[in-house]
């Protein structure tokens, strides 16, 4: 897959290099020429430009990538401005680094739906989250095992849990199901909120929009997601 990472500070550079190590093509963007030069041998492509400038942004292949990560943390105002430009350019998947609840609220009012808090989410964890389509969150338990929060695969929508052989066929474990509800933020914008179902019964029917909380070996989880 292809990604663009804006901001090659500690978090952005760590994320970009990890994504490259996982086999993805990454364009790293930073406003400092020396920073872009520093990472040119570790990241697929690096570009020095002012991402708050619409004319400069037009030079990037924004419509050709699978996701854009705004990893800038020092200046929230610039991060918000870049996110706004990305929305104007019609980028489908935008993930923003946030450092305060207010910054997140403003971004939510712009219909940004994916966020990362570097203090809680390491670059490695975020890289694994981006590595497979449909993965929303990931937590590495050991070298070869992790817990994933993943969109329910299309072919299982409408199926009962008891009809899916998670352990026997896929050799993974279903921990729970996350189903979204809604609430309003202080600007009156409706945003999704997660509601964990807890103990899942064999008769529970999977719905569109559900997320599965799964545990297993990396390769088995990948086989399930791509099945």
CATH of the domain at 196: 3.30.70.1450
Q: In this structure, are 151 and 101 located in the same domain?
A: no
Q: In this structure, are 59 and 23 located in the same domain?
A: yes
Q: Tell me, what's the pLDDT at 61? A: 95
Percent of the chain with pLDDT over 70: 97
Q: In this structure, are 34 and 76 located in the same domain?
A: yes
Domain termination site, one of 64, 97, 129? 129
Number of domains in the chain: 2
Per-residue pLDDT tens digits for 149-178: 899 999 999 999 999 999 999 999 999 998
Confidence of residue 225 (pLDDT cuts 50, 70, 90): confident
Q: In this structure, are 22 and 41 located in the same domain?
A: yes
CB-CB contact of 69 with 15 (8 Å): yes
Q: What is the mean pLDDT of residues 93-100?
A: 91
Is the alpha carbon torsion for 103, 105, 109, 110 positive or negative?
positive
Q: In this structure, are 82 and 143 located in the same domain?
A: no
Q: In this structure, are 82 and 150 located in the same domain?
A: no
Q: In this structure, are 138 and 125 located in the same domain?
A: no
For residue 16, give the CATH number of its domain: 3.40.50.720
Domain termination site, one of 129, 164, 183? 129
Domain termination site, one of 106, 129, 152? 129
For the cut 70, the answer to whether the pLDDT of residue 186 exceeds it is no
Q: Which of 17, 13, 14 is nearest to 25 (CA)?
A: 17
Q: In this structure, are 111 and 211 located in the same domain?
A: no
Phi, psi for 142 (deg, rounded to 5): -150, -175
Q: In this structure, are 107 and 200 located in the same domain?
A: no
pTM: 0.68
Q: Tell me, what's the pLDDT at 179? A: 87
The owner of tokens 């309003």 is 184
Q: In this structure, are 107 and 170 located in the same domain?
A: no
For the cut 70, the answer to whether the pLDDT of residue 206 exceeds it is yes
List Cβ<8 Å contacts ≥24 apart for 191-200.
Answer: 191/108, 191/113, 192/113, 200/161, 200/174, 200/176
Q: 155: domain range?
A: 134-225
Q: In this structure, are 157 and 107 located in the same domain?
A: no
Q: In this structure, are 123 and 74 located in the same domain?
A: yes
Per-residue pLDDT tens digits for 16-48: 999 999 899 999 999 999 999 999 999 999 999
């Amino acid at each position: 897959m292809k990604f663009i990472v804006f901001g090659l500070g500690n978090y952005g550079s760590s994320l970009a290099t990890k994504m490259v190590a996982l086999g993805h093509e990454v364009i790293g963007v930073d406003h400092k020429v020396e920073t872009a030069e520093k990472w040119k041998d570790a990241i697929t492509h690096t570009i020095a430009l002012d991402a708050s400038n619409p004319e400069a942004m037009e030079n990037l292949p924004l419509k050709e990538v699978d996701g854009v990560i705004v990893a800038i943390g020092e200046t929230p105002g610039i991060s918000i401005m870049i996110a706004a430009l990305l929305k104007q350019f019609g980028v489908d998947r935008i993930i923003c680094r946030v450092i305060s609840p207010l910054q997140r609220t403003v971004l939510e009012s712009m219909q940004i739906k994916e966020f990362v808090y570097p203090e809680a989410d390491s670059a490695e964890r975020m890289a694994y989250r981006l590595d497979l389509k449909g993965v929303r969150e990931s937590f590495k338990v050991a070298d070869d095992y992790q817990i994933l929060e993943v969109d329910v695969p299309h072919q299982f929508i409408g199926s009962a849990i008891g009809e899916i052989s998670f352990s026997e066929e896929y050799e993974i474990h279903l921990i729970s199901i996350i189903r979204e509800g809604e609430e309003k933020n202080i600007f009156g914008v409706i945003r999704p909120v997660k509601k964990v179902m807890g103990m899942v019964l064999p008769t529970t029917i999977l719905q569109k929009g559900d997320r599965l909380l799964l545990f297993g070996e990396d390769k088995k989880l990948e086989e399930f997601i791509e099945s």
